[in-house]
A and B are shown apart, each in its own frame.
Chain A
Amino acid sequence: NAGVTQTPKFQVLKTGQSMTLQCAQDMNHEYMSWYRQDPGMGLRLIHYSVGAGITDQGEVPNGYNVSRSTTEDFPLRLLSAAPSQTSVYFCASSYFLEETQYFGPGTRLLVL
């Protein structure tokens, strides 16, 4: 059981570039979500999904796209990176309405 995995661990982008942050889980969890962590602001929800084919916006969705074609994978796409998207990104998963969410190790993104 690998749990929640995220790739890459660290990425540097130039303004305007696009990229996809990968998240996968092998626990058959229905619920998956993406958070970003910024200093002094805790973690904020970007997008979430309650099952394959179903996604919804969180607190800070602008500039990000998601899709959920399988139960296991929930990629986060940055269409045109901006310096304001410099952050640490966490993916999390759980059974729907289960108390405990399992977090991935995070991806540190630097946009120049």
Chain B
Amino acid sequence: AQTVTQSQPEMSVQEAETVTLSCTYDTSESDYYLFWYKQPPSRQMILVIRQEAYKQQNATENRFSVNFQKAAKSFSLKISDSQLGDAAMYFCAYRSAGGTSGSRLTFGEGTQLTVNP
């Protein structure tokens, strides 16, 4: 079974600064997807960014980028120019690329990000 670990329960950053959230995972599969979800106080789960394991290039979405290290099974999220609206719980998630259970997500424990003005 796959596992996802987020070792930072809480992080804080000053507005306009850069912060990196860590995520490691364990799997024996070679083809899979990795995601970062944001959960603001409204509780809505919002997809921030996704990475296909077969792609060497790190995914980028505006101020959000990832550092995907497949051999190390590491998938960190970098938020540049942090904004007050980035304050939220962030979850790292894993999904297999195929099979009957291919759509199920395995989540990490979450990292609570605080943005200080």
A residues near B (Cβ < 8 Å) are: 31, 33, 35, 40-45, 48, 50, 56, 58, 88, 90, 92, 94, 96-101, 103, 105-106, 108
A56 to chain B, nearest CB (A): 8
Between-chain CB contacts (< 8 Å), 5 pairs? A40-B9, A43-B91, A43-B107, A99-B33, A106-B44
List residues of B (1-22) whose CB comes within 8 Å of A's CBs: 4, 6, 9
CA distance A103 to B45 in the complex (A): 6
Give the distance to chain A from B50, nearest Cβ to Cβ, in Å: 6
* Nearest B residue (CB) for A95: B103
Checking B95, B100, B104 against A58 with a beta-carbon cut-off of 8 angstroms, the contacting residue is B104
Q: Give the chain A neighbours of B95 by CB distance below 8 A.
A: 99
Report whether B43 and A31 are in contact in the complex, using a CB–CB cutoff of 8 Å.
Answer: no
Q: Which of A33, A41, A108 contacts B103 (CB 8 A)?
A: A33
Shortest beta-carbon contacts, A-B, top 10: A42-B107, A103-B45, A43-B107, A31-B103, A106-B43, A42-B109, A97-B102, A42-B110, A42-B108, A45-B104
User: A43-B107, A92-B105 known; 9 other A-B pairs, CB under 8 Å?
Assistant: A35-B107, A40-B9, A40-B110, A41-B109, A42-B110, A44-B107, A45-B104, A48-B101, A105-B44
**When the two chains form their complex, are residues A45 and B103 in contact, meaning their CB atoms are under 8 A apart?**
no
Establish whether residues A96 and B103, one from each chain, have CB atoms under 8 Å apart when the complex forms: yes
Complex CA–CA separation, A44 to B91 (angstroms): 12
- In the complex, whether B98 has a CB less than 8 A from a CB of chain A is yes
Residues of A within 8 A of B105 (CB): 33, 35, 43, 45, 92, 101
Q: Which residue of B lies closest to A33 (CB)?
A: B104
CB distance from B36 to the nearest CB of A (A): 13
Q: How far is the CA of A35 from the CA of B107 in the complex (A)?
A: 10
Closest to A40 in B: B109
Shortest distance between the CB of A41 and any CB in chain B (Å) = 6
B-side contacts of A35, CB under 8 Å = 105, 107
